[in-house]
Chains A and B, each alone.
Chain A
């Protein structure tokens, strides 16, 4: 172990020497690893990070791990093998990721985490995450208001391996459970998936025709749920999501879904690249490893200002 580490160091030093000897070598590489781009949220992260990396003169290697920790581990190996100077990572599991990030660290490559935390500090250089709990509280408060503080509701929960699924659910319940006249008649995971949310909503609706609202852990599931409700002629059911996607924005402005919570995904990814750049060029570490970014409520009043996970003024 020690020997390989020393060899890596030697190789690293050698590369540095080469770099100084040949200033005309190719641009430094930043690896950007996220879940699947099928979800526009992760796509916005990748696009934001890539744009910022190029703007700062880096080459970008954009990869997806599809929420598979083994695949993520292989991609980290790829990034190490390609000699990336930093890794921007939206990870595939709070526990499973620790070893992968440690592996990169041992190879001398700092990781800058976005969107999701890991259950360890001192391994990643930065963990920049949305304040999911604060955002969930905003969404839940809006939901409670829309529901008139009473009635039956359904909660759609995200993928269990993603810490944010639990954090958002907790944030929702910390607000909603203060209202005893709001009754949760079903709580199911639809794994962040639109199609899964559609079929789950169909069967929940059959068993519980008297529901008044649906609170969803993200926007894609909110879209699926609303489509199922619309197909059953139940557009009266109040749906609130989370993420601030353009799809939900369009639904809000056309009177469908009632609200969502914007996570500053684009800005977050760009901030991670800026911090990586600061470390690569100036050896300057972020002041704090764990950094929270506040979310913003989006409803009929400001939905029109929303574009690609950012609010315009």
Chain B
């Protein structure tokens, strides 16, 4: 029993390391920020953690979606966040490349429909803001957990902060006119069953090609 004692600090350190990794209140000045600032936290982790995670985790849309519709749990283990809440639908990291076959820029929750497999029909709907729905970006990240937040409001604001940051740094720079026929390349996430007709992808990176 006694010679177990020296192991305690190491154990404590290990616990701390795993816990610190996902602490949402970590601030740049090194101190323990008492107030949770979701926008600042997202800004801090975006380039360092979020984009690399999505790049590493994402699969090509046709592959992800085929597996998702046949075996959602298998797709979740491969492309999703295995730490998700029990009854929550799976969210997957995806990359997609194709041609814009339709655009809805009338709504502030603007979208483009993308044909990925070249059959002329839309396969996915990509959000291009400024209003961005859902929490797909947050929910795709395996290092973000509800348990690490004080309450639903903090967790919710954190989800919203991802969308705002994507809109500010990526989506707001995309063209809005004459989108049909242009090429598009997206890295992002979508939640299974979120779109009413098509899977609704929230981008973390997006490019739209020049007019054909």
A residues lining the B interface (CB < 8 Å): 94, 117, 119, 121, 129, 131-134, 137, 141, 144, 149, 163, 166-167, 170-171, 174-175, 178-179, 264, 288-294
Given A175-B131, A288-B147, A289-B147: A294 and B89 interface contact (C-beta under 8 Å): yes
B151 with A178: CB separation less than 8 A: no
Contacts of A292 in B (CB 8 A): 85, 88, 146, 152
B133 with A293: CB separation less than 8 A: no
Q: Is B20 an interface residue (CB 8 A)?
A: no
Closest to B83 in A: A288
A117 CA to B109 CA in the complex, in Å? Answer: 31
Contacts of B147 in A (CB 8 A): 121, 288-290
Closest to A134 in B: B135
Contacts of B153 in A (CB 8 A): 133, 163, 166-167, 170
Closest 8 CB pairs of A and B: A178-B131, A133-B156, A292-B85, A167-B152, A290-B147, A174-B160, A293-B87, A294-B88
What does DSSP make chain B's interface, helix, strand, loop or mixed? loop
A117 CA to B151 CA in the complex, in Å? Answer: 7
B156 with A167: CB separation less than 8 A: yes
Q: How many A-B residue pairs have CB under 8 A?
A: 66
A179 to chain B, nearest CB (A): 5
Q: Is B173 an interface residue (CB 8 A)?
A: no
A179 with B108: CB separation less than 8 A: yes
- Chain B stretch 76-126: residues in CB contact (< 8 A) with chain A: 85-89, 107-109
B102 to chain A, nearest CB (A): 18
B152 with A294: CB separation less than 8 A: no
A137 with B133: CB separation less than 8 A: yes
A48 CA to B151 CA in the complex, in Å? Answer: 25
